[in-house]
Chain A
Amino acid sequence: MPDVTPALALIIFGAGAVAGGLGALLGIGGGVFLVPFLNLGLNFPFTVAAAISLTTVIATSSSVSAGRTGQQLINMRLGMVLEVATAGGSLLGGVTAQMVAQSILQKLFGLVTAVVALIMLSRLNRRNVILDPSAQPGTLGGRYYEDESGATVTYRVKRMPIALAASFVAGNVSSLLGIGGGVIKVPVLNAWCGVPLRAAAATSAFMIGVTATAGAVIYYGRGQLVPLLAAAAVLGVQFGSWTGMHIGARASARWLKLLMAIVLFIVSVLMFVRGVR
């Protein structure tokens, strides 16, 4: 580990701000950017990078969800059910991360970022699904008011086994790699389980705090979380995502998604190459 200097703290704050800003603009967590920066750029051990990133994931989840309560956009019942799967996956991932070599984690990260980039490219023009407002939401479904269309959106949740399986995988990847895992859950909930995109994103962001905590506790207990660096990253990400959300309301994200998909492919290749060497 390098010496913790004000300069290093400032660099990590800046990296957190950029990652948080991009995360907010793209609707994904900043972890996919923060982990490679810390691991490849600053040469931190992978587990140390993942631990720092997970704490920023928790902070983002809590603050974003706190701001969204009262809008009925977060489907808490669905979230609580799926959390059983994400927290289980996360626990397993956190334990696994302690036992496998850094090169394996790097290869896996390379693979996952490539998939994330592909998902992002395939969803450049994705819009919300709006169903018949007279439909009944059922036990796990939801209903919320959408500003843009001025209508109440009602949805039912379909194919729960798929949602649970995706949540387990997302939780597993989350604490293994230090990312939120929303990028796996949101497309699945939206495309196969009938959850409108905004509700899927809000519910996923809500769950991610619990998911990341199950893994972060292991890193913290093992002494792999450097509090000072985590503090710099958390504050940076908070600042960045706050800024990103305010710009995001105005900016079109299409070109940004395209650019970031390319960046993620590069990150993926770099991580994979490092893992193979």
Chain B
Amino acid sequence: MTPPARAARLERIVGVVLRLGVGASTVCLGAGLTLSFVPGLSAQAAVLLHAGIVVLLVTPVARVVVSAGEYARQRDWLFVGLTLTVLLELLGGAVAALVFNRRL
């Protein structure tokens, strides 16, 4: 593939990941928000709300993961390295939260 064709392919894949992530999290958050004001459904609402937040947070991470995969397929090792570094930094956030909560 030519460089522009590779770039277009990556853009398409990233677009799909972002669209799915935003769609799924918006649905979960909207449903959770609505259910939280229905008496007796607060447990279900909490699950949906947390699911919506987690999907929202995972979407950019997923975008980085598929980019790393795509760069690996193209044997563009410099960019595989860069995207994996970003992934480590994102993981660092989760580790930092655990350290602050003294779970580590």
Contact = CB atoms under 8 A, between A and B. Distances in A.
Interface of A: 4, 6, 9, 55, 58-59, 61-63, 65-66, 69-70, 72, 74, 76-77, 80-81, 83-84, 87-88, 90-91, 94-95, 98, 209-210, 212-222, 225, 227-228, 230-232, 234-235, 238
24 contacts: A4-B36, A58-B56, A59-B22, A65-B14, A69-B15, A70-B12, A76-B10, A84-B82, A94-B96, A98-B100, A209-B18, A209-B60, A210-B61, A210-B63, A210-B86, A212-B60, A213-B93, A214-B92, A216-B57, A217-B94, A227-B49, A227-B53, A234-B26, A234-B52
Given A69-B14, A218-B100, A6 B93 contact: no
B15 A221 contact: no
B11 A210 contact: no
A83 B86 contact: yes
A221 B102 CA distance: 11
B29 A222 contact: no
Interface of B: 7-8, 10-12, 14-15, 18-19, 21-22, 25-26, 29-30, 32-33, 36-37, 45-46, 49-50, 52-53, 56-57, 59-61, 63-64, 67, 79, 82-83, 85-86, 89-90, 92-94, 96-98, 100-101
B7 to A, nearest CB: 7
A240 to B, nearest CB: 14
Given A213-B61, A217-B93, A221-B93, 8 more contacts: A55-B53, A58-B57, A69-B15, A70-B12, A98-B100, A209-B60, A227-B49, A234-B56
Contacts of A62: 18, 21-22, 56, 59-60, 63
A90 B92 CA distance: 10
B89 A235 contact: no
B8 to A, nearest CB: 8
A52 to B, nearest CB: 11
The main secondary structure of chain A at its interface with chain B is helix
Contacts of B33: 9, 228, 231-232, 235
A63 B22 contact: yes
A161 to B, nearest CB: 16
Given A80-B79, A227-B52, A221 B89 contact: no
Contacts of B101: 221-222
A228 B8 CA distance: 37
> Most A CB atoms within 10 A — which of B22, B45, B50?
B22
